[in-house]
Amino acid sequence: MQLKMESFEHPSAALPPPAIILVETQMGENIGAAARAMANFGLRDLRLVRPRDGWPNERARAAASRGDAIIDVVRLYDDLPAAIADLELVYATTARPHDIAKEVESPAVAAGALGAAAARGARTGVVFGREKWGLTSEEIGHVDRIITIPVDPIFASLNIAQAVILVAYEWRRVVLGDPTWTPFAERERSPQASKADVFAFFTHLEAALDAVEFFRPETKRPHMVRNLRQIFQKARLSEQEVRTLRGVLAALERRPTRRDAAQAAETGE
Amino acid sequence: MQLKMESFEHPSAALPPPAIILVETQMGENIGAAARAMANFGLRDLRLVRPRDGWPNERARAAASRGDAIIDVVRLYDDLPAAIADLELVYATTARPHDIAKEVESPAVAAGALGAAAARGARTGVVFGREKWGLTSEEIGHVDRIITIPVDPIFASLNIAQAVILVAYEWRRVVLGDPTWTPFAERERSPQASKADVFAFFTHLEAALDAVEFFRPETKRPHMVRNLRQIFQKARLSEQEVRTLRGVLAALERRPTRRDAAQAAETGE
């Protein structure tokens, strides 16, 4: 886990994330939601080409929630070439084929290429088009490659902030380098029980069941024991859970507790 | 490409997608955006536990955009146990650790497990909590495992619909079985040029440059030729693009066209 934490902290600082460029976005809410999505996955550089309702935009700030640090440093441009002039590898996202022959990549493949470019020092970006009709063919012509998101073809219309978060998420996968990583592991307040603890519980359980002649006929005992053990093996018990189960078992066995023993002595039973 | 198309159509029909269960969602917009996100990736079964503003909800329908087919068949429940009673493998999404020891998985790992469960006929679901504070520990206690999304720890607050789309996207990756798949390939109006076409262009280009004594000194010619060819190799030219380049070259060579030749004959040049 320690190693994974390191791989999580280190490359995210080292690899400059792609800029996100939104072209003629109509709704401030979408700009804000895109900023929030960027913040969720460590992206910082948001660029706007002619947002319809001008800038600054209070609806964008509200929708950004605590992603407002990104809203504070948004940069505005008059056209797409100006917005991407300092970048070296630029993708456009489109939901449908254009008339231009360009390489079309899935978000996973594109994020890998963006990560590789960033690792060699290139500045990168991803362009998102208008809510209603995306990017013009001329705008597509300004970028290097195309990302298209593998949506269900019968419902292909993705909200812009949703498209941004999917690209940002794939970027994060590249940064983490490990698709199984999670920010917190299984809660281990009580450590996993050792096999010895688990086996001692099995011995206890089976002895208790032998005492009440549970395993009948005797020939079926091995099979019944195996099935019973399997139930608790699957539960991957913690130390605390094994203690709890042994307490349950003792209670069911009606084994005299210390208080019972004291009472029995008092009443002379 | 044909094979990939098949792998795209077939398993999505065969594997029943997980149900999405939203617990006490406050804003209709978030329910609608979640429905739209589900539709984008082929999910259909949306269940609501006590939505704050009641049901039906016009803001949810508006935000669902064309995902309203999902809104039409939403089911309502009084509590989480009722909402997941018919399911066999249920995940909850959480942004922070709970006091309950449960397996915590990334969306990628969880989607794989959901796909495997669906493939053996199990009905599955993923639960999402309230906008402000997620799920109670009691609710977490009702599910089998936990999904947590690998957000940047300094900005961990994900919008519900954004969390839904990331889970739905990972489900889609499992259904497609190929993270490189895209719904449309590079636009191949003109097929990729064969190497023979490209080599013929190189021969043409180099002859034209020889004619104007471009390659000087002669000892540098092999190196210069290699660099020049590399430019066009990288462009991965289509047949049409090779024809275009040969036309450019012919024009620059000022090679007489048929019309020029006809004019020259007329004027006696």
Q: How far does A226 lie from chain B, in Å, by closest CA? A: 24
Per-residue pLDDT reduced to its tens digit, A120-176: 999 999 999 999 999 998 899 899 999 999 998 888 889 999 999 999 999 999 999
Count of alpha carbons within 13 Å of B111, Cβ hemisphere only? Answer: 22
As a whole number, mean pLDDT of residues A197-210 equals: 92
CB-based contact A40 B152, cutoff 8 Å? yes
Q: In the structure, what pLDDT confidence band is assigned to residue B173 with cuts at 50, 70 and 90?
A: very high
Any idea what DSSP says for residue B240?
H
CB-based contact B166 A161, cutoff 8 Å? no
Q: In the structure, what pLDDT confidence band is assigned to residue B30 with cuts at 50, 70 and 90?
A: very high
What spatial distance separates the first Cα and last Cα of chain A, rounded to whole Å? 57
Residue-level pLDDT at A268: 55
Sheet holding A89-93, edge to edge: A75-77, A46-49, A19-23, A124-128, A89-93, A145-147, A104-105
Q: Which residues of B51-88 are buried (b: 16+ CB within 10 A; e: fewer)?
A: beeeeebeebbebbbebbebbeebeebeebeebbeebe
Q: How far does A81 lie from chain B, in Å, by closest CA? A: 21
Residue of A nearest to B239 (CA): A101
Q: In the structure, what pLDDT confidence band is assigned to residue A1 with cuts at 50, 70 and 90?
A: very low
E strand or H helix that includes residue B47: strand B46-49
Q: In the structure, what pLDDT confidence band is assigned to residue B10 with cuts at 50, 70 and 90?
A: very low
Longest CA span, chain B: 99
User: How much of chain B exceeds pLDDT 70, in percent?
Assistant: 86
Mean of pLDDT over chain B: 86
Residue of A nearest to B150 (CA): A182
Identical fold at A2-176 and A195-264? Answer: no
Q: In the structure, what pLDDT confidence band is assigned to residue B267 with cuts at 50, 70 and 90?
A: low
Residue-level pLDDT at A178: 86
Give the 3-state DSSP-derived string for B56-70, with helices as H, strands as E and coil as C: CCHHHHHHCHHHHHH
CB-based contact B183 A105, cutoff 8 Å? no
As a whole number, mean pLDDT of residues B182-202 equals: 77
Question: Which of A37-46, A88-97, B143-152, B183-192 has the largest mean confidence?
Answer: A37-46
Other beta carbons within 10 Å of B212 = 9
CB-based contact B162 A162, cutoff 8 Å? yes
As a whole number, mean pLDDT of residues A41-51 equals: 97
Residue-level pLDDT at A253: 82
List of chain A residues whose C-beta atoms are within 8 Å of the C-beta of residue B172: 150-152
Domain locations in chain B as residue ranges: 2-176, 195-267
Residue-level pLDDT at A159: 94
In contact, A182 and B105? CB cutoff 8 Å? yes
CA distances from A79 to A20, A24, A82, B147 (A): 14, 9, 6, 41
In contact, B150 and A172? CB cutoff 8 Å? yes
pLDDT higher at B205 or A181: B205
CB-based contact B179 A108, cutoff 8 Å? yes
Per-residue pLDDT reduced to its tens digit, A228-238: 888 888 888 88
Q: In the structure, what pLDDT confidence band is assigned to residue A115 with cuts at 50, 70 and 90?
A: very high
Give the 3-state DSSP-derived string for B120-155, with helices as H, strands as E and coil as C: CCCCEEEEECECCCECCHHHHHCCCEEECCCCCHHH
pLDDT higher at A131 or A95: A131
CB-based contact B65 A157, cutoff 8 Å? yes
* Lowest-confidence region among A31-35, A205-209, B111-115: A205-209
Q: Which of A100, A152, A186 sits opposite B102 (nearest CB)?
A: A186
As a whole number, mean pLDDT of residues B45-52 equals: 97
* Cα–Cα distance, A197 to A233 (Å, whole number): 12
Mean of pLDDT over chain A: 86
As a whole number, mean pLDDT of residues A172-197 equals: 79
Size of interface A-B (CB pairs under 8 A): 161
As a whole number, mean pLDDT of residues B201-225 equals: 91
Count of alpha carbons within 13 Å of B257, Cβ hemisphere only? Answer: 7
As a whole number, mean pLDDT of residues A211-236 equals: 88
As a whole number, mean pLDDT of residues B89-112 equals: 86
List of chain A residues whose C-beta atoms are within 8 Å of the C-beta of residue B93: none
Residue-level pLDDT at B159: 94
As a whole number, mean pLDDT of residues A199-220 equals: 91
Per-residue pLDDT reduced to its tens digit, A239-257: 888 998 998 888 888 765 5
CATH class of B195-267: mainly alpha
As a whole number, mean pLDDT of residues A200-228 equals: 91
Would you call A43 helix, strand, or coil by DSSP? coil
Question: What CATH topology corresponds to A195-264?
Answer: Helicase, Ruva Protein; domain 3 (1.10.8)
Q: How far does B87 lie from chain A, in Å, by closest CA? A: 19
Homologous superfamily of A2-176 = SPOUT methyltransferase, trefoil knot domain (3.40.1280.10)
Any idea what DSSP says for residue B72?
H
Residue-level pLDDT at B262: 65
For residue A267, the one-letter residue type is T
* Cα–Cα distance, B32 to B133 (Å, whole number): 20
Based on its alpha-carbon atoms, the radius of gyration of chain A, rounded to whole angstroms, reads 30
* Cα–Cα distance, B256 to A131 (Å, whole number): 50
Count of alpha carbons within 13 Å of A11, Cβ hemisphere only? Answer: 19
List of chain A residues whose C-beta atoms are within 8 Å of the C-beta of residue B176: 150
